[in-house]
């Protein structure tokens, strides 16, 4: 039994964990209030869905902390007509948030079971503007490029070159880059042929495994 309805839990989450820490984009706040995070988390962890933390989703992976999802989404500075690429679908929560804000989301996941789980979660909610690709997201997905926003939700040792190439003019990429255990949140912005970058606070993500990421689990 939940002590109060789930919509109330989401409102509390948005007020206490997200707005209180400085996220202001109204469309980001509305999306976090709308998307039922508990449906993206397998039991028994779903009962903690509106807590301030990442949680296990199976296959050794996690759903990101709601605050981090909000901050990374806000940093993309998205417009409704934008097309976005996400790397690291997991169970599909971040893709669901993006789908409420932009016109089309492409999301790449390397673990087929998680991609399938995300497809089921998104289709149950009729979030039909998300295309899920199975494969190495460090290569991007040229078929749908260029992207106005690229969001990497796993820890990268560096900026994957194919992703920079697939960023539209004026587009932004947000990613955790640095060590395997601790990274800095980075924002890259393309202006014609030049790309500028800025750094935000420290974050901790599971590793991005692939040709332009880390070489494999535990190595
Ligand atoms: N975005 C998810 C959410 O909404 O909660 C969280 C994703 S989890 C922190 C990181 C995901 O990145 C994992 O599911 C992992 O399998 C995936 N991943 C790691 N390397 C990848 C790669 N090269 N391409 C695609 N997905 C990758």
Domain boundaries, the chain: 64-203
| Three-state SS at 110 | coil
What is the rounded distance in angstroms from the CA atom of residue 189 to the CA atom of residue 159? 12
User: Chain-wide mean pLDDT for the chain?
Assistant: 96
pLDDT value at 1 more than 80: no
- List active site positions: 64
Task: Confirm or reject: Cβ of 108 under 6 Å from ligand 1.
Answer: yes
Ligand 1: distance of its center to the CA of 3 in Å?
Answer: 32
How far is the centre of ligand 1, averaged over its atoms, from the C-alpha of 111 (Å)?
8
The tens digit of pLDDT for each residue in 153-206 reads: 999 999 999 999 999 999 999 999 999 999 999 999 999 999 999 999 999 999
Say whether the peptide bond before residue 146 is cis (omega within 30 degrees of 0).
yes
CB contact at 8 A, 33 and 97: no
Report the range of poorest mean pLDDT among 94-98, 191-195, 214-218. 214-218
- How many angstroms separate the alpha carbon of residue 64 from the centre of ligand 1? 10
> Which is the CATH superfamily of the domain at 64-203?
Vaccinia Virus protein VP39 (3.40.50.150)
Output the pLDDT for position 219.
44
CA dihedral 21, 25, 31, 36 (to 10 degrees): 0
- % of the chain with per-residue pLDDT over 70: 97
The pLDDT score that the predictor gives to residue 212 is 98
Q: By alpha-carbon position, which residue is closest to atom 27 of ligand 1?
A: 88
Looking at beta carbons, which pairs linking 55-61 to residues 24 or more positions away fall under 8 Å?
57/90, 57/91, 57/114, 57/117, 58/113, 58/114, 58/117, 59/111, 59/113, 59/114, 60/206, 60/217, 61/90, 61/111, 61/114, 61/206
Q: Give the range among 4-8, 140-144, 185-189 with minimum mean pLDDT.
A: 4-8
Q: How confident is the model at residue 52 (pLDDT cuts 50, 70, 90)?
A: very high
In this prediction, residue 216 carries a pLDDT of: 82
Q: What is the average per-residue pLDDT within 99-113?
A: 98
What mean pLDDT is predicted for residues 72-85?
A: 98
- Burial, 211: exposed, middle or buried (Cβ in 10 Å; 0-12, 13-18, 19+)? exposed
Closest ligand 1 atom to 86 CA: 1
């Amino acid at each position: 039994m939940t002590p109060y309805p789930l919509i109330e839990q989401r409102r509390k989450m948005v007020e206490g964990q997200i707005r209180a820490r400085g996220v202001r984009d109204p469309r980001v706040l509305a999306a976090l209030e709308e998307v039922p995070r508990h449906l993206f988390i397998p039991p028994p962890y779903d009962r903690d869905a509106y807590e301030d933390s990442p949680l296990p989703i199976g296959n050794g992976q996690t759903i990101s902390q709601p605050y981090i999802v909000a901050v990374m989404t806000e940093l993309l500075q998205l417009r409704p007509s934008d097309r976005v690429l996400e790397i690291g679908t997991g169970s599909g929560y971040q893709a669901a948030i993006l789908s409420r804000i932009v016109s089309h989301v492409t999301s790449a996941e390397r673990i087929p079971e998680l991609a399938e789980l995300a497809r089921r979660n998104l289709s149950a909610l009729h979030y039909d503007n998300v295309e899920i690709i199975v494969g190495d997201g460090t290569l991007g997905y040229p078929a749908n490029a260029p992207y106005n926003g690229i969001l990497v939700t796993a820890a990268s040792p560096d900026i994957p070159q194919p992703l920079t190439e697939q960023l539209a003019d004026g587009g932004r990429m947000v990613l955790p880059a640095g060590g395997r255990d601790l990274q800095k949140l980075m924002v890259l912005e393309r202006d014609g042929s030049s790309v500028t970058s800025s750094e935000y606070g420290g974050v901790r993500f599971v590793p991005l495994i692939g040709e332009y990421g880390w070489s494999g689990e535990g190595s």
